[in-house]
Amino acid sequence: MLKKNEKPNIQEGALRVVTAADFTAEVLASKQPVLVEFSTSWSRACHVMDSVLQALAAPKRTRGARASDTCEGKFKVVKVDADASLDLSLCYDIQSVPTLIYFLGGKPRLRIVGTASKGAILAKLKPFSE
């Protein structure tokens, strides 16, 4: 447990990890849409998705990339450890990792199970941004 003035140990460029304690504030009450990855530390597929989601959440684009290649403030990307947050995993019926759930207005609107490319994720999210 973190002490009052202690900051979480998050590696540079790593996705923000949300726990059951802050899920309501960070996801359900968020004014902007949130893409949540339910993952585990032991899953190779989750490690693959981490790099895809980091690329999506990256604040700046690489040379030659289009603005549509990143979320650029359109939505935030967070991660939930499915093993450490079993209540959330049960609540959202997580049966396989990685599972991505897109929350809009605090409600789950889209679910992607398994790995997906950045382009595939953006294509599935496009109808929600129009």
What pLDDT, on a 0 to 100 scale, did the predictor assign at position 72? Answer: 61
> What's the whole-number mean pLDDT along residues 16-40?
96
The pTM of this model reads 0.82
pLDDT, averaged across the chain: 85
Residue 90 and residue 124: Cα distance in Å, rounded? 24
Q: What share of the chain is helix, strand, coil (3-state, %, to 5)?
A: 35, 20, 45
What pLDDT, on a 0 to 100 scale, did the predictor assign at position 64? Answer: 52
User: Which residue, among 114, 34, 42, has the nearest Cα to 75 in the 3D structure?
Assistant: 34
pLDDT tens digits along 41-95: 999 999 999 999 999 988 655 555 554 555 667 899 999 999 999 999 999 999 9
Domain topology for 16-129 = Glutaredoxin (3.40.30)
